[in-house]
Amino acid sequence: MTDRVLDSAKFIAEHSDYVSIPYHHIDRATDRIIKSMDQREYSTKTWNQHALNPKKLDHTTVDWIFLVDLLNFSFWSDLDSADRATAHPDRYAVEYKGVSYTGYWSLCAAINRALESGIPVTDPTWLSKASHDELAMIFKSDTKEQVPMLNERIELMQHAGQVLCQHFQGSFGHCIEQANHSAQRLIDLLLTYFPSFRDIHTFNHRKVYILKRAQIMVADLWACFDGKSYGQFDDIDTITMFADYRVPQALYYLGLLEYNTALKAKLIKGDAIVSGSKEELEIRGNSIWVVELVRQRIQERQSKTTINAILIDFYIWDLAKEIQDELTVPTHHTRSCYY
């Protein structure tokens, strides 16, 4: 089966003007990635080790992952141009168990904070009936800035709650069951019932599939449940890297992406990059494609490897967060619900 995302990424990489892949760097970068993943024994088990990720392997965790990946987008701050590990004091942050979280982890912290205060925020029935203000409170900020795209997030939660109640007996677990252990079928169900997952664009007059949040939803289930139960997907290796704004930044640092002078200047200035623009799609498409090339190199060297694009992506994302202060070119600034 050809993969719609990989086909799109290859097409973008072959028709790019602003972004390129330094092919002569791939071997050295692959060496570094393999060595570090081996040292860390990087596997699906790494996912559950994150403090904020759920530990119980049941349908409540399935609904937790659904809600997180429904909202897993656009955490970068208009205030914090430096975007360092030690955030700007006013940047949106959520305090949970004595730790202040920003970015993606602020979303997980907000959800866990709500659950601990007795709000069943991951329950689709509750979501389907919750008011605007009740949902806004979930994202209550512990700093001056509020969460980016608050209203969009609220609308997505209300709509998703209604859809899960109307079509999937009030739990995302039933949607997974309908996919019958196929990642691609689960992605198709997400695209059919939840429009905000339709991360599909036009590049050089051709439809291109990026599908970042639909794919990471599958990947988080697979990793959390260690490929069993709600995480069993017989076609899991058709999932690609997730084209967000953090991994491309790390790929550049690893010498796996190159930007032309004009685009690099825009990134350094923090200029807005329009969602669906050629520049943005080239950053996302080349990121997916170069991770695929790294995956192929690893496959060639370690034929029995269990490393797939998901684990390479998770590793690079975790690495990016660890070395955030060393990353030389900023993340690109696109506001969208896709990533």
Ligand X SMILES: Nc1nc2c(c(CN[C@H]3C=C[C@H](O)[C@@H]3O)cn2[C@@H]2O[C@H](COP(=O)(O)O)[C@@H](O)[C@H]2O)c(=O)[nH]1
Residues annotated as catalytic are: 244
Residue number of the CB closest to ligand X reads 103
For ligand X, which is the closer residue by CB, 5 or 247?
A: 247
Residue type, position 182, single letter: S
Which residues sit at the interface with ligand X, rule CB under 6 A? 46-47, 50, 53, 72-73, 75-76, 103-104, 242, 244-247, 313-314, 317-318, 339
Question: Which of 56/205 has CB closer to ligand X?
Answer: 56
Q: Could you write out the DSSP letters of every residue in 222-275?
A: HHHTTTSGGG--TTGGG------SSHHHHHHHTTS-EE-HHHHHHHHHT-B--T
Q: Which of 40, 132 has the CB closer to ligand X?
A: 40
263 alpha-carbon distance from chain centroid: 23
Strand, helix or coil for residue 39: helix
Shortest reach from residue 221's CB to ligand X, in Å: 12
Closest CB 289 distance from ligand X, rounded Å: 14
Q: Are strands 206-209 and 19-20 parallel, antiparallel or unpaired?
A: unpaired
For ligand X, the closer of residues 210 and 298 by Cβ is 210
Q: How far apart are the first and last CA of the chain?
A: 26
Closer to ligand X at the Cβ: 102 or 171? 102
Three-class HEC string of 122-148: CCHHHHHHCCHHHHHHHCCCCCCCCCC
Q: 50 or 129, CB closer to ligand X?
A: 50
CB of 103 to ligand X, least distance (A): 2
Residue type, 117: S
Contact 319, 50 (CB under 8 A): no
Q: How many helices (H) and strands (E) does the chain have?
A: 15, 6
CB of residue 165 vs ligand X: minimum separation in angstroms?
26
Cα angle 209, 210, 215; round to 5? 115
- β-strand partners of 94: 101
Q: Which residue has the tokens 């030389």?
A: 328
Q: How far is the CB of 203 from ligand X (least distance, A)?
A: 20
Nearest-angstrom CA–CA distance, 149 and 335: 8
Minimum distance of ligand X from residue 183's CB (angstroms): 16
